[in-house]
Structure 1
Amino acid sequence: MNQEDNEKKVMIVNGSSHTNGTTMVAIEEMIKVFDAEKIETEVVQLGGKPIADCLQCNVCQKTGECVFKDDGVNEFVKKAEDADGFVFATPVYFAHPSGRIFSFLDRVFYSAGSEEIYKAFQFKPGAAIAVARRGGCSATIDALNKYFGIAQIPIASSTYWNMTHGLTADEAFKDEEGMQTMSNLARNMVWMMRCFELGKKNGVPYPQTATEACTNFIRRDDGQR
């Protein structure tokens, strides 16, 4: 393994209130692959502590930091600058992600909206994981993928949708295809990170990003758009 591989890092957000529940089982299956490939990982456990919603107060647009400073959002954005990939994992609540990961990521990506901080996420592979007893995983993954789609984060996929099933951690281990999906997903992320690194080494520039247009879909008083 070369030095560049040793320096790669993936930031993982566990959106479950249970730090060692079914969601963590899926995460740990990916970490096995990352460890074998000498990829550093850091898991951000949202746990059961309160996480504030985004107020759209716009303080972060002036200061570069979210106004709430006690629940890890600002720390995550800062660490994202040195990360090479991202995994957002969540249990399924009523066919959507947990409210805590929604609140956390809303503030992460809104506070990272300034041009300099936004670059912390651009062109780094990301993957969403959903864990359920039975149903709702597809809608949950779709919701989390929205964050990647607005931040120029290439979405990593696997041999099945990025989901596992189980009511308890012990049950989750028995989802053999789910565990296989997590392992393949991690391998695909490693491959993507290495390809991006080779591109940079060989002079392949990042795409130029235009940001001037901002349309609110409101007609002018004279009827023109």
Structure 2
Amino acid sequence: MKVVAINGSPRKGGNTSQALKVMADELQKQDIDVEIIQVGYLDIHGCTACGYCSTSEKNRCVFKDDIVNETAEKMREADGFILASPTYYAGIAGAMKSFLDRVFFTSSGYFKFKVATSISVVRRAGGVDVVHQLNNYLNLAETILPPSQYWTSAYGMDKGEVMEDGEGIQTLRKNARAMAWLLKVVHDGKEKFPLPYDEGHIMTNFIR
């Protein structure tokens, strides 16, 4: 099995990277491969809601000069994925937001019942908001979220400080172990229990 971890931080080797490594180490102990892809330092177009992906081959995005289509394909093929972002004004970092808007607009239909989780890194406050914002993507894509003992935020400012947050790091480890367990349950369960019947999405607009 394989998990793709998305690092939304622009800082290489920073606290978000170290928090993801904690998760990856736990998953690898369970014989689950992890590929970490850092997108936060890249120049990524925002979604323009052009609709190209709804009719294009493999629902690929119209912008082909960045990492989005390539990474979306890896996430579609993986058994699960992790979204990680530092906290900017109690929100997702900019390049990560642009990346997520396009990946999930093109690929949510491919993510149903995959196991996915999110983590945030924060200096002081706003990290729970980031987890909630990341989870909005996961919930609307109908993924399965593993639990932990607390919100999956870890605290630190300078490089390496996140590792001093004992409770935060423990929370991430527990989340990763729950993710590994769920990945195996879903993988083995598919052989006995088919995925739920999926009826067409009824769209209701509030002004007409």
TM-score normalised by L of structure 2: 0.95
Structure 1 gap ranges (5+):
1-7, 220-225
Shift of 1:169: 2.1
SS for the counterpart of 1:205 is coil
Q: Which residue of 1 aligns with 2:10?
A: 17
Q: Which amino acid aligns with 1:24?
A: S
Q: Which residue of 2 aligns with 1:165?
A: 155
Contact 2:76/2:107, CA 8 A, preserved across alignment: no
Give matches, 1:147-158, under 5 Å: 147-158=137-148
Cα–Cα, structure 1 residues 200 and 52, in superposed 2: closer, same or farther, change >3 Å? same
> How far apart, in 2, do the equivalents of 1:69 and 1:108 lie?
12
Alignment pair present for 1:112 and 2:141: no
Q: For 1:84-113, what per-residue CA distance to the aligned partner results, in whole angstroms no more than 9, with x for missing partners?
A: 111000000011111111110100011225
Q: Which amino acid aligns with 1:109?
A: F
Alignment pair present for 1:95 and 2:90: yes
Q: Which structure's CA Rg is the greater one?
A: 1
Contact 1:124/1:154, CA 8 A, preserved across alignment: yes
CA RMSD of aligned residues (A): 1.2
Q: Percent identity?
A: 38
SS for the counterpart of 1:209 is coil
Alignment pair present for 1:44 and 2:33: no
Contact 2:40/2:96, CA 8 A, preserved across alignment: no
Shift of 1:212: 4.2
1:207 aligned to 174, 190, 196, which one? 196
Q: Which amino acid aligns with 2:67?
A: G
Shift of 1:67: 1.0
> How far apart, in 2, do the equivalents of 1:50 and 1:79 lie?
19
Q: For 1:44-75, what per-residue CA distance to the aligned partner results, in whole angstroms no more than 9, with x for missing partners?
A: 11142211110011111111111111221111
Q: Which residue of 1 aligns with 2:126?
A: 136
> How far apart, in 1, do the equivalents of 2:76 and 2:46 lie?
23
> How far apart, in 1, do the equivalents of 2:101 and 2:178 lie?
26
Q: Which residue of 2 aligns with 1:145?
A: 135
Q: For 1:106-138, what per-residue CA distance to the aligned partner results, in whole angstroms no more than 9, with x for missing partners?
A: 00011225xxxx22x110111110100110011
Contact 1:12/1:43, CA 8 A, preserved across alignment: yes
2:80 aligned to 77, 81, 85, which one? 85
Aligned length: 206
Shift of 1:173: 1.1
Structure 2 gap ranges (5+):
none
Give matches, 1:189-208, under 5 Å: 189-201=179-191, 203-208=192-197
Q: For 1:192-219, what per-residue CA distance to the aligned partner results, in whole angstroms no more than 9, with x for missing partners?
A: 0111122112x21111112241111223
TM-score normalised by L of structure 1: 0.88
> How far apart, in 1, do the equivalents of 2:72 and 2:42 lie?
19
Shift of 1:14: 0.2
> How far apart, in 1, do the equivalents of 2:141 and 2:120 lie?
20
